[in-house]
Amino acid sequence: MSVIEVKHLTKRYGKHLAVDDLSFSVEEGEIYGFLGPNGAGKSTTMNILTGCLAATSGEATINGFDIFEEPKEAKKCIGYLPEIPPVYGSRTVREYLQFVAEAKKVPAENIESEIQRTMGLTGTKEYENRLIRHLSKGYRQRVGIAEALIGDPKVIILDEPTVGLDPQQIVEIRELIASLKGGHTVILSSHILSEVQSVCEKVIIIDHGRIVALDTPENLEKTFRQSTSIHAVLECEPERAREFVEAHFSGLPLKGIDVGTSESGSLLKFTLGDVDEKELARSLFFAAADERIAILSMETKRLSLEEVFLKLTGEKTAPAEMQQEKEFIPEEPEIPENGGEAR
């Protein structure tokens, strides 16, 4: 049985269709990535699955419980990290997790061990007596994940867990998420392809509230890789370049070869298809050397997330907010030891 089952889920805000007939299922112990640009409908879907928002139509079950008919039972199976975690800055980490454990109705005799377990998993123990508002953003995010883990729910839903973190924190949070694999069923959302690829077993790409791709990262990567191209400028006339291509590359399973002109010679564009990128670069180098044609430049062009979306959605312009990686804004330094103690 699938732990998460979503059928024809739809959400309208007035006339605006935020989630459009989504259907998917997640098996026990899997990590699913929800990938899409800002405004794609990721948070809306997650808010519906966690019982924070009503759907317009459709069905969703968590561990067999209908989120609309049996919301209490369904919610008990979920730990949720919303995009903006509601962690209270005026409490210490320990006080906050105690409060969360009580709210989640963890039996009193298990609360201490649950706090210890989740602080251990998220690496927050050394700051247990620090006020949350005095933690760095990375550590606040860890506290939010600890909150989601309290009570050991079967399903963990994380909305953009690494947004706004610095590169080191991103690596740490990704490792933390990967460590949940097997013990928990996880859905995480992101607008960053590489993030989803590195931790998820399946990727759901959504755009304008619709699923535009659902596959393993390996298969998606294969699709993207096939569209990778190598652009090389050769110091010769286009006519000679065409003969060169015909003599050396016509037998390869390339997806396409284009010969054009550039300021300093001919511009060759090879779209990889089933040819290995390094192999092609090597062949190009040696073939040009044999023919005594100078290669003036060579570069690899990979599809950006925007271009992948454009290909998948057939649109002409990418959503304005979409970026490969969001700009990193350094955060304020942590308060030195004792500076953040509660008492």
| CB-nearer residue toward ligand ADP: 15 or 316 | 15
- CA-CA distances (angstroms) from residue 55 to 12, 48, 134, 200, 274? 8, 6, 37, 26, 43
Q: Which member of 7, 13, 171, 246 binds ligand ADP (CB under 6 A)? A: 13
End-to-end CA distance of the chain: 49
Burial 106-123 (b: 16+ CB within 10 A, else e): beeeebeebbeebbebbb
Number of residues that bind ligand ADP (CB under 6 A): 11
List phi, psi (to 5°) of 256: -175, 150
Task: Check: CB of residue 313 under 8 Å from CB of residue 207.
Answer: yes
Q: Which stretch binds ligand ADP (CB under 6 A): 12-20, 87-95, 232-240, 290-298?
A: 12-20
Cα 240 to the center of its chain, rounded Å: 45
Query: Quick check: 41 binds ligand ADP (CB under 6 A)?
Result: yes
Cα 58 to the center of its chain, rounded Å: 25
Query: Quick check: 292 binds ligand ADP (CB under 6 A)?
Result: no
- Minimum Å distance from CB 259 to ligand ADP? 41
Residues 6+ apart with CB under 8 A from 58: 6, 7, 8, 9, 10, 21, 22
> What type of residue is 177?
I
Look at the chain and count its residues.
Answer: 343
Q: Which member of 38, 271, 313, 323 binds ligand ADP (CB under 6 A)? A: 38
Query: Quick check: 79 binds ligand ADP (CB under 6 A)?
Result: no
Q: Which member of 6, 35, 40, 155 binds ligand ADP (CB under 6 A)? A: 40
Query: Quick check: 313 binds ligand ADP (CB under 6 A)?
Result: no
Query: Quick check: 50 binds ligand ADP (CB under 6 A)?
Result: no
| CB-nearer residue toward ligand ADP: 226 or 313 | 313
Q: Which stretch binds ligand ADP (CB under 6 A): 24-32, 33-41, 259-267, 293-301?
A: 33-41
Q: Which stretch binds ligand ADP (CB under 6 A): 37-45, 65-73, 101-109, 237-245?
A: 37-45
Query: Quick check: 71 binds ligand ADP (CB under 6 A)?
Result: no
List phi, psi (to 5°) of 168: -65, -45
Query: Quick check: 319 binds ligand ADP (CB under 6 A)?
Result: no
- Minimum Å distance from CB 16 to ligand ADP? 6
Query: Quick check: 190 binds ligand ADP (CB under 6 A)?
Result: no
- Give the span between the Cα atoms of 152 and 146, in whole angstroms: 10
- Minimum Å distance from CB 293 to ligand ADP? 48
Q: Which residues bind ligand ADP (CB under 6 A)?
A: 13, 16, 18, 36, 38-44
